[in-house]
Structure 1
């Protein structure tokens, strides 16, 4: 039997609830239709909700604290995915797949970190990643490192000469994805398509999508309060509800634009009779607050930041339907290989959920928390982007279907840690956490604390609390 193709499509800064299925103000007919034909879960999370750390976890199946990509690959901060890391693309190529990567990479160190006038013309956080080990066996390459002018983008392929386009980046990248699959449709292919929108700047969208939302009055969730909204990652926030309203209109417009591009891909697969022979995963690197808890952006433990779409279709093996299995980023690599009957490398730290998806068989030691949820402890983390040992800053989190427990160390050496416990069922908008300066003051908090600390000790990521 022919090997299944693999298509992984992931957007940047796209929250799970930003779909028509969850929010009637957003038009996503193609994604909603796909959800009816696929497996989906509302319990998928970004293990480290920031662009570069997520990508390192997705491609290696290893936690960010071990890949070393604990923050964004940015100017003034020498960080990149090591050429020696073993990525899923290398495993797939060795298994006979033609591999491709299109769109935002954001795993290379910006070229301005090593010289003021790179031959590629790369600016800001951008970089030309030349052929070789740093591409991790992606044969076809039409990508850039980090650049946000969605309406006037550039890419690199085999040379350092920029390839320019005035198409909205998801349209251009979808064109390239269709070209790639067309040229390789007679042999098994594995393509990763990384769309940058709805990442800011939100207003960089085609007029035809914005027109659909021009007069929209956004419906806010109960956890959107106040008139000033900060950003955790240093990007500009919003100083009024009017600014936030406009950002939401643009954000929804971008998601609708992505929906149209995804529809083009599904239509092509059906026309070429490849739809049932292709494992299709639609997901995102992290979410976006859009005003929730007084924030815009990502990089917090709140659901708006960590909870991402996860729609997976492979009718040969996976039954259709929604479920509440919890999936974290490091699980994606082994689960995909499990579905493809490819051996999982020992370097992978995530767990293969293929048997669970295929026949409902839980992985070994999987905990059953209630009749409604079959899940396990999910661990999340975030680090200060530069300067400090990651074990001494940021926050760490354990998430179950019922509860979420957070140790917040903060980003300053003198910051006194806080401990937060959320009841996810009773308080779904995470408005009223139990907050303490000692986890031992509350029995359940103490239990969650022990489980989180045990995980941190096992992974060498223990937070010092002096």
Structure 2
């Protein structure tokens, strides 16, 4: 009996030790989770860097984005590296989610719907493997395979391109338990509202689900056309009250290649003032409506247990012309289309700071990984901007990662810029533009033929060649269409009878 009691006591002691160990381990794990920052990533579609009140645009109302900028750090010069497709958003998202450069994402036109190279760890996938709960809502536009690799759950996900109807977009959910996608269903309400609903619901339900840190990927479809928003928001921006941009032109001065891509035919060419004003007003209405939905998400975060331990990053996939240079879309290399808004706020981020940046959107992956203490995969090519977030980085007058910024659009355009000058070259028509950005920020006066700027022209031409080699740009200026096609990229123009390809 005594031996039996002692044996039972020993078993109880062992069980007690095991339970104590588990409690301590779980407590340490919970503590580690609390030390890990959460991330709320908000990505808009087609939002120009000037389309916010905090960018000095006094015509548009974006109170929530303005408050976010005031509570964090805003970078003014953040760039989309380019596109091999008329749908510029697809390559941009491929770069964001791989952290790789334009021609190294492994996602070309024909493969984007089905593939994501397994040897390239994805942003969400890397965080998920590091113990993060990864959640997706809104526009994805990379591939289903990449979606499933990246996220543990998702709601109101728009997988592909645009349906051009914000009230009837096709959505799917990603079930956390089965890791299967639901049958497609219609949004039945404005996409901005539905996506905000999903994000708010995630934040409210998260404490009941697990204590893992999270990465939320919230991809709005707005302000991409169709220009649909509630009438009350449209009424805020009557066309008669809208000022035309300083760089408004009836028609662009050069044939940039895809001049008849669908973005450009949303209004007649040459442009007329009144339709352009109305077009801008409808664009602003979508952004203000979306800003209200972003406010709902930020309010939910503020009232959650995660308010003090979450880093919010806001940006867009690229900019948009919306009447500037006689253009409407993003298939060009002017600043209004290659630059994106960028705000980062939250734990450890300087408040009320404004800096230049001079980096690409693919820096998002390594930056957030470094902030989370996650090892950045060797396949990531982009640089982290963490050094720019320090006071020392802020005090640097340039406050930028790169002295030279590269840009590319299909086989039609190549670009290189510094803080002072920009060169755009059009290989198909052998035409060059050179702009003095300090004295001509609207990029209206082409100085390429001015002998006073010959030195800057030659320097940038040389630097463009260097960057093309560095980034493995497959384009051969002597045979642009043929070399691009040989590299596996589509060269079919929107106008399929383009005789320049013959």
TM-score of the pair, normalised by structure 2? 0.77
CA contact (8 A) 2:406 2:467 kept: no
Instruction: Work out the CA distance in 2 between the residues paired with 1:266 and 1:462.
Output: 42
CA contact (8 A) 2:125 2:151 kept: yes
Q: Which residue is equivalent to 1:40?
A: 74
Instruction: Work out the CA distance in 2 between the residues paired with 1:79 and 1:205.
Output: 30
Going from structure 1 to structure 2, the CA distance change for 1:453 and 1:86 (only over 3 Å counts) comes to same
Instruction: Work out the CA distance in 2 between the residues paired with 1:305 and 1:215.
Output: 22
1:183 aligns with 2:229: no
Q: Which residue is equivalent to 1:12?
A: 45
Task: Quote the offset at 1:380 in angstroms.
Answer: 3.4
Task: Quote the offset at 1:372 in angstroms.
Answer: 5.8
**Which 4+ residue blocks in structure 1 deviate beyond 6 angstroms?**
227-230
1:53 aligns with 2:91: yes
Going from structure 1 to structure 2, the CA distance change for 1:228 and 1:209 (only over 3 Å counts) comes to farther
Q: Which residue is equivalent to 2:266?
A: 237
Instruction: Work out the CA distance in 1 between the residues paired with 2:259 and 2:224.
Output: 13
Deviations 1:340-384 (A, max 9, x none): 12111111111111122134349xxxxx7xx46655234333343
Mapping 1:447-466, distance limit 5 Å: 447-461=459-473, 463-466=475-478
Q: Which residue is equivalent to 1:405?
A: 423
1:334 aligns with 2:366: yes
Going from structure 1 to structure 2, the CA distance change for 1:18 and 1:134 (only over 3 Å counts) comes to closer
The structure 1 residue matched to 2:454, chosen from 442, 449, 462, is 442
The structure 1 residue matched to 2:221, chosen from 172, 196, 204, is 196
- Larger C-alpha radius of gyration, 1 or 2? 2
Aligned residue for 2:247, secondary structure, equals coil
Q: Which residue is equivalent to 1:325?
A: 357
The structure 1 residue matched to 2:193, chosen from 168, 171, 194, is 171
Instruction: Work out the CA distance in 2 between the residues paired with 1:177 and 1:302.
Output: 34
Instruction: Work out the CA distance in 2 between the residues paired with 1:159 and 1:344.
Output: 28
Instruction: Work out the CA distance in 2 between the residues paired with 1:441 and 1:462.
Output: 29
Instruction: Work out the CA distance in 2 between the residues paired with 1:83 and 1:160.
Output: 24
Instruction: Work out the CA distance in 2 between the residues paired with 1:192 and 1:435.
Output: 42
Instruction: Work out the CA distance in 1 between the residues paired with 2:65 and 2:398.
Output: 25
Instruction: Work out the CA distance in 2 between the residues paired with 1:307 and 1:441.
Output: 25
The structure 1 residue matched to 2:138, chosen from 99, 103, 115, is 103
Instruction: Work out the CA distance in 2 between the residues paired with 1:315 and 1:232.
Output: 45
Greater Cα shift, 140-149 or 157-166? 157-166
TM-score of the pair, normalised by structure 1? 0.83
Q: In proportion to residue count, which structure has more helix?
A: 2
1:429 aligns with 2:464: no
Q: Which residue is equivalent to 2:320?
A: 288
1:161 aligns with 2:190: no
Mapping 1:45-444, distance limit 5 Å: 45-48=79-82, 50-69=88-107, 77-80=110-113, 81-84=115-118, 85-108=120-143, 129=144, 135-142=148-155, 143-144=157-158, 145-146=160-161, 147-157=163-173, 158-185=180-207, 186-202=211-227, 204-214=228-238, 216-226=240-250, 233-235=261-263, 236-239=265-268, 240-361=272-393, 371=397, 374=400, 376-384=402-410, 393-409=411-427, 415-435=428-448, 442-444=454-456
Aligned residue for 1:360, secondary structure, equals helix
CA contact (8 A) 1:319 1:357 kept: no
Q: Which runs of 5+ in 2 are unaligned?
A: 1-31, 174-179, 479-502
Task: Quote the offset at 1:396 in angstroms.
Answer: 2.1
Aligned residue for 2:82, secondary structure, equals coil
Task: Quote the offset at 1:211 in angstroms.
Answer: 1.9
Q: Which runs of 5+ in 1 are unaligned?
A: 72-76, 109-128, 363-367, 385-392, 410-414
Greater Cα shift, 180-189 or 253-262? 180-189
Name the Cα RMSD after superposition: 2.5
Q: Which residue is equivalent to 1:116?
A: none
Instruction: Work out the CA distance in 2 between the residues paired with 1:306 and 1:11.
Output: 14
Task: Quote the offset at 1:317 in angstroms.
Answer: 4.4
Instruction: Work out the CA distance in 1 between the residues paired with 2:108 and 2:338.
Output: 16
Q: Which residue is equivalent to 2:10?
A: none
Instruction: Work out the CA distance in 2 between the residues paired with 1:79 and 1:453.
Output: 28
Deviations 1:36-74 (A, max 9, x none): 101001111112261101000111111121114455xxx
